[in-house]
Amino acid sequence: MQRKKISFAILSAILGLGTLLSGCGGNEEVTSTASGNSQGQSGQFATKMKISMFNQGTFNAAAPVPPRDEDVQRQMLEKEMNIDLDMMIPQAGQATTKLNTLIAGGDIPDLIFLKSRADLAQYYDQGVLADLTPYLDQFPELKKRFGNDSWEAMSYQGKTIGVPGYDNVNGISRSFFIRNDWLKKLNMEVPTTPDELFEVMKAFTEKDPDGNGKNDTYGFIGGMNKEGNLQTYGFDSLMWMFGVNPPSAVEIKDNEPIFLFIDPKMKEALAYINKMMAAKVVDPDWVTMNSPDLLDQKMFKGKVGFMIRDARRLEPDYQQKMKEISGEVPEWIVIPPMKGPYGDQIVERKSFQGNSWAISAKADKDKIIRILSMLNYLFTDEEAYPNFAYGIKGIHWDVVDGKIKNKTSELSKEMKEKYLWVDHYRMPRRGDDAEYFSFQNPKTAEAFKDNQQYVGPTLPGNLLTPDPSDTLDADRTRFINESLVKFMTGKEPLSNWDNFLQTLDTKFDMQKYKETAIKQFKEAGLIK
């Protein structure tokens, strides 16, 4: 189904660009002028072409751009595509200003990496970017490289105006950690359901699992950020057991939007967390846990038995921190998420594809084909993949026993610093590629791999943008977050749930938000 326009609350351009350029290309079918096909095969382009790239997608903006004779990846791209590549790496925090300055001066880069969908739409509206719809069917492998949800994020006004920038990484930062040594001591099994998890957390709190004779352990700790948002701090993972999540979590089912933060199942999720609070299995310090570092400190101190943390906490450096702080290295293991009463078993939902590659509207058809061929080569050529995702063969990676081995973690500090610039080309790395991360602990790689099956699809609600006329949007979100916390802690009894919903409607005009969501979903072609 072709996607239609999504309304955007577009910010005014910093430099007041207006519509600088005319036309973004028609929708007539375009064929490549390259010899052979458009799938990035060596020698297909007879004429050398200069391509300028604005690469704020680099994984290290501070790294210098090396001379051509030292830049192996650049040489590969230039040889394969018969191009002269001029890559610009903007300084961190200055990319938007730099790009707007270039655009205002009429010096629009041919290929632009953008970090947000709002930027993609904004620059297209200003006439800066090309419509890629007529060209993409010539690149079936590139289209297959990214999922439908990623391509949906590239759609605007019924046209595809970008190529996904790089894979987001899922299945690692919100891993379910549990103290296996405590389970063994208490003769308990790894929990698989919310009820089993509650009993384990209760035992961790009440039965002195560390054996020090003190009442100083807890079953769980989570937190919320300084704005009072529960996302990513642990409690939201507990809510996923019931198939719901805090504000912005909007699903589509049976051609209707489902607002998960006010769904009836949210009441059940809050009742579960309130039960945890009442049983005192939650470390009372949770109210001060407003940063990931603070939660890490709790993990390192070894007084909590179940947490939602990054699987990389199994890596040697973090294990050493645990030993330094608590005097021991606890037997943390990563377990599958609990299977909830409605069959939900979710680590997290796939991150929204916000970043993208866009092409200048000044580029003619031949240049657009050449650029798309380069992206096709970058993202789909299996032989080239390790050279971009990992680095230089013989230094960052090699073939060991017939398999590719990422050796980056084995490099000395001096060697890593010498080749920092390879980070400018790592965008093709796959989000589920455990070898890319060069995990030192096999258990980390195992957890990362196992978690992939519990990563749910991207929430359609991520496509929504605030309606500028909705003056209650920020207050509404704040009220919802505050109310969820009150229900969790028991400061507001769940018997007042209907009053909460009524207040949302009467005081915060929830109906307007619903109508905006329906309108945007229809424009996107997600509902009829």
Opening angle at CA 129, ends 123 and 133, nearest 5: 125
The answer to whether 13 and 21 are in contact (CB under 8 A) is no
pLDDT band, residue 43 (cuts 50/70/90): low
- The pLDDT tens digits of the residues spanning 449-462 come to 999 999 999 999 98
b or e along 210-230 (b: 16 or more beta carbons within 10 Å of the residue's beta carbon)? beeeeeebbbbbbbbeeeebb
Domains and CATH numbers, the chain: 49-169+353-440 (3.40.190.10), 172-346+459-528 (3.40.190.10)
pLDDT band, residue 227 (cuts 50/70/90): confident
Instruction: Tokens 């089912």: give the residue.
Output: 253
Closest alpha carbon to 134 in 21, 52, 38, 36 = 38
- The pLDDT tens digits of the residues spanning 384-393 come to 999 999 999 9
The answer to whether 85 and 51 are in contact (CB under 8 A) is yes
- The pLDDT tens digits of the residues spanning 331-373 come to 999 999 999 999 999 999 999 999 999 999 999 999 999 999 9
Calpha distance 158→385 (Å, rounded): 32
Say which residue, 232 or 13, is predicted with more confidence: 232
Predicted TM-score (pTM) of this structure: 0.81
Instruction: Tokens 């050398």: give the residue.
Output: 48
- The pLDDT tens digits of the residues spanning 293-343 come to 999 999 999 999 999 999 999 999 999 999 999 999 999 999 999 999 999
DSSP structural state of residue 359: E
**Phi, psi for 137 (deg, rounded to 5):** -65, -15
- The pLDDT tens digits of the residues spanning 371-419 come to 999 999 999 999 999 999 999 999 999 999 999 999 998 999 999 999 9
Calpha distance 139→147 (Å, rounded): 14
pLDDT recorded at residue 25: 39
Q: Average per-residue pLDDT in the chain?
A: 90
280: region left, alpha or beta (phi > 0 left; psi from -120 to 50 alpha): left
Closest alpha carbon to 205 in 269, 272, 270, 278 = 278
Look at strands 304-309 and 218-220 and give their pairing. Answer: parallel
Cα 50 from chain centroid (whole Å): 33
What is the Cα gyration radius of the chain? 25
Q: How many CB atoms lie within 10 A of CB 428?
A: 22
The answer to whether 389 and 429 are in contact (CB under 8 A) is yes
3-state secondary structure of 208: coil
- Which residues are CB-contacts of 24 (< 8 A; sequence separation ≥ 6)? 124, 127, 129, 130, 131, 159, 161, 361
Opening angle at CA 134, ends 128 and 139, nearest 5: 105
**Phi, psi for 218 (deg, rounded to 5):** -135, 155
- Which residues are CB-contacts of 417 (< 8 A; sequence separation ≥ 6)? none
The answer to whether 377 and 83 are in contact (CB under 8 A) is no
Q: Which tokens go with 105?
A: 């001066």
Q: How many CB atoms lie within 10 A of CB 427?
A: 22
Q: Which tokens go with 478?
A: 């704040």
The edge-to-edge listing of strands for the beta sheet with 332-335 is: 218-220, 304-309, 175-179, 332-335
